[in-house]
Amino acid sequence: MKKEDFREKAHSVLDEVINHIAEMEKKANDVSDDLKDEYNKKIERLKEIKLDLTKKLDDYEGMTESRWAIVKESFGEFLDKANKAWKDSYGKAASAFKK
Cα-Cα-Cα-Cα torsion 81, 5, 54, 64, nearest 10 degrees, comes to 110
Confidence (pLDDT) at 95: 64
Q: How far apart are CA 90 and CA 51, in angstroms?
A: 16
Helix/strand/coil percent split, the chain, to 5: 90, 0, 10
Stretches in the chain below the pLDDT threshold 70 = 1, 70-73, 75, 86, 89-99
Confidence (pLDDT) at 22: 92
- Taking phi first (over 0 means left), then psi (-120 to 50 degrees means alpha), and beta for anything else, what does residue 39 get? alpha
Confidence (pLDDT) at 30: 85
Confidence (pLDDT) at 16: 86
Confidence (pLDDT) at 96: 57
Confidence (pLDDT) at 55: 85
50-76 pLDDT, tens digit each:
888 888 788 777 777 777 776 666 767
**Segments in 62-95 forming alpha helices (H):** 65-94
